[in-house]
Amino acid sequence: MAIRLADLAYSVLVAACGAGDTGIVVASSASFPVLSAGDYTFLTLASAVGREIVKATAISGNTITVVRAQGGTSALAFGIGARVELRLCSAVLAALTEGFMIGPASSVDGAVAMFDGTGGRNLKQATVASGTVLGRTSPGSGAIEVLVLSQAGALIMAAATAADQLALLAASGPRFPVFVPAHGMVPRVTNGPSLTTAETATNKIMVKTIDFDAATAEFAQFFVRMPEGWNAGSVTFKIVWSHAATSVNFGVRWEVRAVALANGDAIDTPFGAAVGINCTGGVAGSLYTTALSASLTIANTPSKSDYIVFEISRNVSDANDTMVIDARLHGVTVVYTADSFSE
């Protein structure tokens, strides 16, 4: 079942209809939308006696089958010559928003709750996670509102003020990047790569990199004090790097691991499992950026505002790491998910 619309749809009655009639006859139905089984549209009847919105459910020739008194209007008797028009009205808007509300139906089945704007029914679709909801708070012709549901289906917000728009954005789990350049990192004392400063030949662009060996595993670390708005979950990352001239084999395997340190934690705390990502260079002096990594779990049960130690390395033992010269690290973009805009 779907609403059907058409531009400039208009005709007039060629036979009078009483307030109880469910069929109206028009001069021509050519401009009205084609209604297949289950389709419908809303028409406005208008004359000197008043106006009425009807729901058209079938059109056969020039006869239109209708349900009377829609959109809060009353059934009236119309004479020959009364206008029959497809207008934008509250009933049309309500139909267009039907099924537009999406969110968890309950805390136990995780199914999607879809709001039926006409009957107020709670429909169910495939299983999804909790999230934002767009639609109405109740059936009828009221204003469309912005809603957010919790995983348990509870209404968190039902307005679209400036403050609530921020809450809506936070509830949708926006991601934010934090870029850490190579010159903001620290090579490890044990198996640390070399820090390099260079200048390009023509345009004299200064480049600071950490250069990772092709034969020995080397490690560098950087540190991020996470914002209060971080959801304390996993993060992802991208690596920015380059290389000097080499004839063949340009593959590099980068790996990152991390550990969270809260107030009072021992600094010498083990890292979590590393997440790797492959990237292939090819042109000396060109800048390369990896794809977004898989999710990186931060060890030691992180909390908001924790001090996170990240360690990056080149896994020279991996089969995908084929480049026989140094890989030059320019920086790392860490991408985190926010659940609020607190700092």
CB 324 within 8 A of CB 250: no
Which has more confidence, 169 or 42? 42
- pLDDT tier, 248 (very low <50, low <70, confident <90, very high otherwise): confident
**In the predicted model, is pLDDT for residue 92 greater than 60?**
yes
Confidence of residue 142 (pLDDT cuts 50, 70, 90): very low
341: nearest Cα among 263, 228, 234: 228
Rg (CA), the chain: 32
Topology of domain 10-91 in CATH is: Elongation Factor Tu (Ef-tu); domain 3 (2.40.30)
**Annotated domain spans of the chain:** 10-91, 97-172, 176-337
Average pLDDT over residues 247-259: 94
13-17, 139-143, 212-216, 339-343 — which is least confidently predicted? Answer: 139-143
Q: Select 176-337's CATH number: 2.60.120.260, 3.40.50.300, 3.40.50.620, 2.60.40.10.
A: 2.60.120.260
Q: Which residue has the higher pLDDT, 166 or 333?
A: 333
128: pLDDT strictly greater than 70: no
With beta carbons less than 8 A apart as the criterion, state whether 184 and 140 touch.
Answer: no
Residue 335 C-beta-side C-alpha neighbours within 13 Å: 12
SS (H, E, C) 113-136: EEECCCCCCEEEEEECCCCEEEEC
